[in-house]
Structure 1
Amino acid sequence: MKILFVQHLYFINGTGGTEKICSFLANSFVKNGHQVEIATNEHVSGKAVFKLDDQVTVTNIYDASVHQKELIPIVNYIGRNPFLWFVHKIRKKYAKAYNTLLKKSMNGEENLFIYNLANRAKAWKNYINQVQPDLIITMSIGSLLEITYRNNLNVPIIDSVNGRPDYDFTNIFGGRKPFEVKLLEESFQNLSGIQILFDSYRNYLPSSFKGDVVVIPNPVSKNLYQVDHFKSKDRYKIIHIARLDTGCKQQHLAIDCFSKLSNKYMNWDFELWGIGPDWNRLEKQISDLKMKDRIFLKGFTESPIVKMSEADVFIFPSKYEGFGLALVEAMSVGLPCLGFKSCSGVNELIKHQETGFLAEDMDEMTSQLDKLMGDAHLRDHLGTNAKKAVEVFSESKVLHDWNEFVTKIESLFKQN
């Protein structure tokens, strides 16, 4: 079978969970004898970050000749240089005037959006016609919309949802226009099937979806690491691994929690692994707190499991998640974990007072972190339970379920 994965943005140079799962699935399907290609549409240079089998093809369909009428981003100047402030102010005024004229010439922002989308969708149709896949797996509803808008693709399509489904097509966190929400929701009609991460996520699918649903969690690689919480150390470590994005991952809250306890636990440090748009903001926060010798931004790691196995507590203060792959990996090495009770995905994975703690707010998270830092027996108890709890997310089980679902969807599509 020829399987085409579509992640229209951020696959190239991407270090997030979606890119990791896309690469994992592509490699796995190749090993099962399928022909696999990953396609994106990005005006960037670079490559896939996560290791891919030599037989997996990655294609960037970006073509500068595909006409796009782009709005100029509005950027605020945050420095203190008066000359640069003046230059940015002029640029900002120009951008606003240009954007107003462009939207007016297109009879509104909706028509501008559709014009650009339609042109990209034509490019996708031409590409898909050349590849002639037997099955398409989109890595987001946004990718689904890109390839199906005004296109009749006679191919079964499965969407792999790496978050709670409504995060993909609603305006729950702001930023999407009503016409975008409508288009995204309507695109569900083009799906033969959808993979979700938890059974409770069925409740967040739109009424426009009529295909098959399967619950398949993200996989966790089997590892031999087991944190020894009774090992004597000169220094102990709290760890966090995620994209540096305070709007979602809220690393700034974890930094505040640790800073409040730092004087009580002088032999503890805090490491944050990952890269992202808020590196400078977090670096400034750490500097302002005078914690540069205790809190460290470590950058990207290709060995998250190893880094976690060297730590003692995992803190994950996200506002929202789909599955929290780093969280499950931390549990797999026996780390007790902290998260917020209100966070989707996290509240499905952490069992409060059994595998870690779920906090109502910042004060409670700080109190829970205090308990863990001060009690090796508690860390060991919760960490041991956490390692056992994630055994159900084995790679072999995940792959078996995916193969069954792909076979089912292909068979149903042929019957229809």
Structure 2
Amino acid sequence: MKILLVQHLNFINGSGGTEKICSFLANDFALNGHEVEIATNQDISGKPVFPLHGNIKVTNIYNPETIQKSLLPFHNYHGKNPFLWLKFKVEKKKAKFYNKKLLAEVGGEDELFKFNLSQRSKDWKNYIEKLSPDIIITMSIGSLLEITYNNHYDIPIINSTNGRPDYDYTDILWYRSPIEMKLLKESYKKLSAIQVLFESYKAFLPETFQGKSMAIPNPVPQIEDVNIVEHQENKDEFKIVNIASLVTSCKQQDIAIDIFAGLSNKFPKWKLYFWGVGPDFELLKEKIKKYHLEDRILLMGFTDNPLEKLKESDIFIFPSKYEGFGLALAEAMSIGLPSIGFKSCSGVNELIKHNISGFLAQDKAEFENYLESLMKNAYLRSKLGRNAHYEIENFAPDKILDKWNLLLKDFISEI
């Protein structure tokens, strides 16, 4: 059986959730004796971050000769040097002239987008026809669009969805042009099946999807009962932890800082640790400085061992606005940490069972009240943390793989 996994961007050198799941699936298929290949299309050098079975082939189909036409960026000069101002002004005029000419040639921005996409999709068509896989698994709807635009395959295609489905074809999370959203929705017609993370997520699939859908969550490392966090210990320091990219528009670490600052005087033994990297590092650093809490709120950077950092902690807070699954949250629960998130946050409101394995707050004030309750009550931390640990048994890797193999069997009888 030849299985092709397609992640058109970010697989090489990428350490995110999609890359992790792609590697997880590929390794299991290879261990079951299948011929497995992962394909990407990136103008980049490097290698996969997550370990892969020795028999798995990774192919970068990037072709520098593939024509891609791009608009030139331009910037306004805000300094006081008159020579630099003139230089920027000339460059801006040149860029505007070039862009206007290019758009006139191709027929506008929509046609430019479709032209570039069509050139890449031809490369995918040539590659896939030569490889001739028995089944294709795309790791995003973006990857699905890349391989299917203007193309037809007599091969079952299944999409692995790593977030709430509507995040993949709308501009909820970031800007997408109307033409991109239209084409993404249309690409669902090419799917034989789709995997979603939770049963409730099926309601967010577009009307263009007519295939089979199956709820299969992400796998979560399982922690032995004897190794979960012990909350009854008397310590000199207690830790609240958050593990996420430092992107406040989504992960909202700034809210966590405000909340902790409001409680810091009541709980002098407690500190707040952020693990992760991202574009808002300096913004968060300045916010911490304004509260004069540099010794109590710590930006720790990247960790390659999140479970170890979680094991050293007492409470996990996850004030995200949007999530698909929330792997860091699930890992925190597995290791026995009580967690707090917002009730309105997708993924978070699926994993945390309110007042059983953690708390789901309606707003910032309620979030602070729940955090205070946990900070002053070791018994409550222990009870909710142990419940969380047992909840995550439902996400054991072997159970997740069983579901994936069941889904694939609907399309390939030999698997």
TM-score (norm 1): 0.92
Q: Contact 1:238 / 1:315 at 8 angstroms: preserved in 2?
A: yes
The one-letter code sitting in structure 1 at the alignment partner of 2:268 is: M
Confirm or deny: 8 A CA contact 1:216 1:398 kept in the other structure. yes
Q: What's the C-alpha RMSD, in Å, of the aligned pairs?
A: 2.4
The equivalent residue for 1:191 is 191
Q: How does 1:202-221 map to 2 (within 5 A)?
A: 202-221=202-221
Deviations 1:74-106 (A, max 9, x none): 6688xx975599599656676555444433332
C-alpha distance 88-344 of structure 1, shift in aligned 2 (>3 A):
farther
Question: What secondary structure does 1:275 align onto?
Answer: coil
Please give the alpha-carbon distance, in whole angstroms, between the structure 1 residues aligned to 2:364 and 2:221.
Answer: 32
Other-structure match for 1:249: 251
CA deviations on 1:47-97 (whole Å, 9 max, x unpaired) are 2222222222222222211111123456688xx975599599656676555
CA distance in 2, matches of 1:88, 1:362: 48
Does 2:162 match 1:162?
yes
1:39 Cα shift? 1.2
One-letter amino acid of the counterpart of residue 170, structure 1: T
Q: 1:234 aligns with which of 230, 233, 236?
A: 236
Distance across 2 between alignment mates of 1:93 and 1:255: 44
Which position in structure 2 is the counterpart of 1:300? 302
* CA gap 1:181/1:389 in 2 versus in 1, 3 angstroms: same
Moved more, 161-170 or 253-262: 253-262
Which deviates further from its counterpart, 316-325 or 286-295? 286-295
Could you tell me which runs of 5 or more consecutive residues in structure 2 were left unpaired when the two chains were aligned: none
Residue 19 of structure 2 is matched in structure 1 by 19
* Distance in 1 between residues matched to 2:253 and 2:230, nearest whole Å: 26
Structure 1 unmatched ranges of 5 or more: none
Residue 118 of structure 1: SS of its match in structure 2? Answer: helix
Question: Aligned partners of 2:288, 2:76: CA distance in 1, in Å?
Answer: 23
Give yes or no for the alignment of 1:393 onto 2:395: yes
* 1:312-391 alignment runs, 5 A limit: 312-391=314-393
Matches of 1:411 and 1:396, distance apart in 2: 21
Seq. identity, %: 55
**Partner residue of 1:133?**
133
Is the Cα contact below 8 Å between 2:273 and 2:299 reproduced in 1?
Answer: yes
Q: Aligned equivalents of 1:68 and 1:155: distance in 2?
A: 28
* 1:226-267 Cα deviation digits (max 9, x unpaired): 001111221111111122222221222222222222222222
Return the alpha-carbon distance in structure 1 between the equivalents of residues 327 and 319 of structure 2. Answer: 14
Contact 2:117 2:149 in 1 (8 A): yes
Within 5 Å, give how 1:170-181 maps onto structure 2. 170-181=170-181
2:149 is matched with: 149
Q: 1:230 to 1:16 in 2, by over 3 A?
A: same
For residues 185-222 of structure 1, the C-alpha deviation after alignment (integer angstroms, 9 at most, x for no partner) is 11001111100111111111112111111111111122
Q: Say if 1:14 and 1:48, in contact at 8 Å, map to a contact too.
A: yes
Aligned counterparts of 1:305 and 1:123: Cα–Cα separation in 2: 40
Q: Which moved further from structure 2: 193-202 or 291-300? A: 291-300
Corresponding residue to 2:409 among 407, 410, 413: 407
Q: How far is 1:156 from its partner?
A: 0.9
Q: How many residues align?
A: 411
**Cα distance, 1:253–1:33 mapped onto 2, change above 3 Å:** same
Query: Which of the numbers 259, 263, 286 marks the counterpart of 1:284?
Result: 286
Partner of 1:247, secondary structure, is: helix
Q: Deviations over 1:141-173 (max 9, x none)?
A: 010000000111221110001111111112334
Q: Which amino acid aligns with 1:365?
A: F
* Paired residues of 1:16 and 1:243 also in contact (CA < 8 A): no
Aligned to 1:49: 49
Is the contact made by 1:196 and 1:217 (CA closer than 8 Å) also made in structure 2?
yes
The secondary structure found in structure 2 opposite 1:339 is strand
Q: Which amino acid aligns with 1:209?
A: F
Q: Give the letter aligned to residue 383 of structure 1.
A: G
Q: CA deviation at 1:117?
A: 0.3
Q: CA deviation at 1:368?
A: 1.5
Question: What does residue 113 of structure 2 align with?
Answer: 113
State the AA in 1 paired with 2:231. H
Residues of 2 paired with 1:87 and 1:13: CA distance? 40
d(CA) in 2 for partners of 1:93, 1:268: 56
How big is the shift at 1:283?
2.8
- For residue 203 of structure 2, give the secondary structure of its aligned residue in structure 1: helix
1:30 matched residue in structure 2 = 30
